[in-house]
Amino acid sequence: MIKAAIMGYGTVGAGVYEAVVTNQKVIAAEIGEALEVKRILDLRKFPGDPAEQLITDKFSDIEEDEEISLVVETMGGTTPAYEFVKAALLKGKHVVTSNKALVAAHGTELLQIARDKKVNFFFEAAVGGGIPVIRTLGTGYQGQVITEITGILNGTTNYILTRMDREGAEFGDVLADAQRLGYAERNPEADIEGHDTCRKIAILSSLVTGKEVNFEDVYTEGISKIDSTDFRYALELKASIKLVGAAQFAGNQVTVSVFPLLVSDENPLYAVQGVYNGIVIKGNLLGTTMLYGSGAGKLPTASAVLADMMEAAKHKNENVRFGWTAEKQAVTSHESEKHRYFVRLSGDAASLAAAKEQFEAERVIQLPGLEEVAIVSAPMTEFTYRERAAKVPNILAMIRAELSER
Amino acid sequence: MIKAAIMGYGTVGAGVYEAVVTNQKVIAAEIGEALEVKRILDLRKFPGDPAEQLITDKFSDIEEDEEISLVVETMGGTTPAYEFVKAALLKGKHVVTSNKALVAAHGTELLQIARDKKVNFFFEAAVGGGIPVIRTLGTGYQGQVITEITGILNGTTNYILTRMDREGAEFGDVLADAQRLGYAERNPEADIEGHDTCRKIAILSSLVTGKEVNFEDVYTEGISKIDSTDFRYALELKASIKLVGAAQFAGNQVTVSVFPLLVSDENPLYAVQGVYNGIVIKGNLLGTTMLYGSGAGKLPTASAVLADMMEAAKHKNENVRFGWTAEKQAVTSHESEKHRYFVRLSGDAASLAAAKEQFEAERVIQLPGLEEVAIVSAPMTEFTYRERAAKVPNILAMIRAELSER
């Protein structure tokens, strides 16, 4: 019998409890013994809840309980999650978390403590919700040199962008509606400004390099400036606009950034709609693969936590090789990243002429009823783009576009 | 140093050799020792090939060589692959294969021998090429009750159907072109009649149930009757036609079959085009996920073999829990499967009236210039469909359609 505790009885925590109860037979058959939740830490009471009797508001009830060998952290944020997780690991308990903020800020240290204590610190649910992207990176592509990850990693922004695409609606209106429907938080900044995606792509990049990629080194641009006109152009280009976390790995040259990207309908990310996530992974042998699924939600996220709990249960007395070391992975300047650029300009002839020349325009798009024009540039670095953009008057907006030819 | 042998130096075998050489540093770093190919079995000579010195035409050079602890089988077919693989396992060597015919026909026995000998018999590359679907089913969804798998598992047929969709071309013409381009074999029956997909979905179903699903129990229908008119209707329905292997798991009720399916553009399989494969997996917690990637090809397939080789190298003296037992999994009659049905009828009023009534038609589609009409039925079992179809005159064609509402 493995006894576990859950810290934080919100949506994900309650999902984990439900998952462990619902699938108890499968779980016991697979790990060879029963898995039971003994304690749940939450400051609130839950009268009438099936788990009511397990609730405690004292972390010491978990920390000091030697029967509890596995702790799930689903509180979110770093305070007090960091303190509690660290203490649990130091007590020799396995920890599984769904908390990307915690992993991005303190993962390196917590992974090291887990190694020292011969336990495990797992966080499948921190990236891609129910998509087993972290375990797949670890065991699915063994021996592979991963060259690129481009992921739609945030369901809220993908939901907003999908509705803007389908309905021709404006960002602000869809955001307000998403907030009303509970798909976006009242304070949506972490999602719409790309901070959530930033932490997730930093975690994936750290896993690929085996070194710490600091999320603060990741260039991050959100979606709040995208408007319905951008989507009109996207339609004309047989493309859509997605917020992506993108990382490229070429030996020690590593670029990681977050930005809205025009993706053509031949890119598998194009078909990732609504609250779904999709993560394209390229390797030097395997070519292009994509993992697709629910990036959030109570049970999908809980299912990722459960898979980690079982992995820990199967390796009770062993630290599974996983994660990254304290060594810092330098992130190459955003300026050296290469893209095409979709650039909107005011309609005057001088602006278009300058843009055509400076950006070596491969396409010029003029839509009916608009007093503006847009171009798609040749591939060039961010540095070159910025230098040349200074010479083009009246640029209205710029969105990066994928490099592939149409 | 781990010494390996490759049996069969065709496309995949040569890809494995190339993969091991190209990624030797990554491999050694990950498994903690070097991995080297010592011998390659092939009846042909390869003058000038980098591996020329390793080639032997005698299986005994591998079987009797105690230094060789890991054997890769990429010969295809069951003779002599079965005999050689069995002998290698009995000698206590790990075996990795890309051969779905071998696994479908003899997997149960070979898995048991591997268990008895405390070695491993892995076959990631047998299903989905470079997509790590087998390892993901094993470790990504731990604790999950898998309820459904629907996969585009054959690149050749998906290539043909994609071109028919895009170009409005006829099956025979695209097949001839695919043969010319090397995407289809001269004898294409195994692909186009669904036999390849059948073996693959049987393997995946065996992995999910942990029991042997006999591929001979799988209802299998290919794509040779699909024509350009079907795709005209599909376009009207905002759908496409895909050959799928489909399995549903509800306790001991297991259905497994292979057939062309009309999938709407909201289904992630819709976006799986050309030679790519896509496998939708549903679980009781995780909802819908999809794994997407190259289903064939030299290096993608080799990368799956390599991942298995490394997994075996990391578990040298241990049989990793994997596969299925000799227990037979009964497959519920195809007759009890439930679908919608897209049915084409000759244009006469009596036929349409009968079809509307018998099939409880939810849609009637009449395309300009055609002297026929089509309906989409209400959901019903295959048994019911067949009973009622007997009462409808002049049915021209039927394709199953997904159950989801538009």
What ipTM goes with this model?
A: 0.92
Question: Out of A141, A266, A310, whose CB is closest to B142?
Answer: A310
In this complex, how many residue pairs, one in chain A and one in chain B, have their CB atoms less than 8 Å apart?
161
Contacts of A271 in chain B (CB under 8 A): 268, 270-271
Contact A140 B307 (CB under 8 A): yes
A81/B contact by beta carbon, under 8 A:
no
Contact A26 B311 (CB under 8 A): no
Contacts of A302 in chain B (CB under 8 A): 285
A310: helix, strand or coil: helix
Structure tokens at A129: 């919700």
Q: How far apart are CA B30 and CA A137, in angstroms?
A: 13
pLDDT at A404 over 70: no
Give the full edge-to-edge strand order of the sheet including B68-73.
B55-56, B35-41, B2-7, B68-73, B94-97, B121-122
Question: Out of B131, B142, B299, whose CB is closest to A285?
Answer: B299
A27/B contact by beta carbon, under 8 A:
yes
Q: Is A12 marked within a binding site?
A: yes
A323/B contact by beta carbon, under 8 A:
no
B176: helix, strand or coil: helix
Q: Is B20 marked within a binding site?
A: no
Among chain B residues, CA nearest to A23: B143
Q: How far apart are CA B317 and CA B202, in angstroms?
A: 29
Question: Which element (helix H / strand E) includes A105?
Answer: helix A100-116
Cβ burial, residue A216 (10 Å; 0-12/13-18/19+): exposed
Q: What pLDDT was estimated at residue B183?
A: 87
Q: Is A145 marked within a binding site?
A: no
**What's the gap in Å between the CA of A164 and the closest CA on chain B?**
17
**A170-190 per-position pLDDT tens digit:** 999 999 999 999 888 899 999
Q: How far apart are CA B159 and CA B180, in angstroms?
A: 13
Question: Which element (helix H / strand E) includes B279?
Answer: strand B276-283
B135/A contact by beta carbon, under 8 A:
yes
pLDDT at B257 over 60: yes
Residues 142-171 of B with CB under 8 A from A: 142-145
Q: How far apart are CA A67 and CA B365, in angstroms?
A: 65
Contacts of A132 in chain B (CB under 8 A): 136, 139-141, 289
**B337-388 per-position pLDDT tens digit:** 999 999 999 989 999 999 999 999 999 999 999 999 999 999 999 999 999 9
Query: Which of A263-267, A326-330, B216-220 has the lowest average pLDDT?
Result: A263-267
Among chain A residues, CA nearest to B285: A299
Question: Out of B285, B294, B299, whose CB is closest to A302?
Answer: B285
Contact A143 B292 (CB under 8 A): no
What percent of chain B has a predicted confidence (pLDDT) above 90? Answer: 94
Among chain B residues, CA nearest to A304: B141
Q: Using CA atoms in the order A158, A162, A164, A165, what is the torsion angle rounded to 10 degrees?
A: 130
Q: What is the mean pLDDT of chain A?
A: 95
Task: Residue B234: name the closest of B197, B195, B260 by CA.
Answer: B260
* Confidence band of B404 (pLDDT split at 50, 70, 90): low
A34/B contact by beta carbon, under 8 A:
no
Count helices and strands (H / E) in chain B. 14, 17
A32/B contact by beta carbon, under 8 A:
no
Contact A306 B142 (CB under 8 A): yes
Contact B303 A140 (CB under 8 A): no
Name which residue leads in pLDDT, A286 or B97.
Answer: B97
**B110-119 per-position pLDDT tens digit:** 999 999 999 9
Contact B271 A273 (CB under 8 A): no
Question: Which element (helix H / strand E) includes B396?
Answer: strand B395-401
Q: Is B185 marked within a binding site?
A: yes
List Cα–Cα distances, B39 to A112, B2, B20, B392, in angstroms: 41, 12, 13, 62
**A40-65 per-position pLDDT tens digit:** 999 999 999 999 999 999 999 999 99
State mean pLDDT over B176-200.
Answer: 94
**What's the gap in Å between the CA of A284 and the closest CA on chain B?**
9
**A147-171 per-position pLDDT tens digit:** 999 999 999 999 999 999 999 999 9
User: What is the residue whose two structure tokens read 């074999």?
Assistant: B185
Q: Choosing from A3, A25, A118, A200, which is the catalytic residue? A: A200
Interface probe with A: pick from B303, B308, B324, most Cβ of A within 10 Å: B303
Q: What pLDDT was estimated at residue A295?
A: 87
Contact A294 B286 (CB under 8 A): yes
Q: Choosing from B3, B45, B58, B200, which is the catalytic residue? A: B200
Question: Out of A132, A270, A292, whose CB is closest to B141?
Answer: A132
A297/B contact by beta carbon, under 8 A:
yes
State mean pLDDT over A364-370.
Answer: 95
Interface probe with A: pick from B131, B289, B308, B314, most Cβ of A within 10 Å: B289
B252/A contact by beta carbon, under 8 A:
no
B199: helix, strand or coil: helix
Q: Specify whether A3 is catalytic.
A: no
Structure tokens at B393: 């005159």
Task: Residue B92: name the closest of B60, B126, B124, B115 by CA.
Answer: B115
Contact A141 B291 (CB under 8 A): no
pLDDT at A236 over 70: yes
Catalogue all structural domains in chain B, each as residue range(s) with its CATH number. Answer: 2-129+299-314 (3.40.50.720), 133-295 (3.30.360.10), 335-401 (3.30.70.1150)
Q: Is A8 marked within a binding site?
A: yes
Q: Is A143 marked within a binding site?
A: no
**A201-231 per-position pLDDT tens digit:** 999 999 999 999 999 999 999 999 999 999 9
Contact A290 B290 (CB under 8 A): yes
* Confidence band of B6 (pLDDT split at 50, 70, 90): very high
Cβ burial, residue A292 (10 Å; 0-12/13-18/19+): buried
A110/B contact by beta carbon, under 8 A:
no
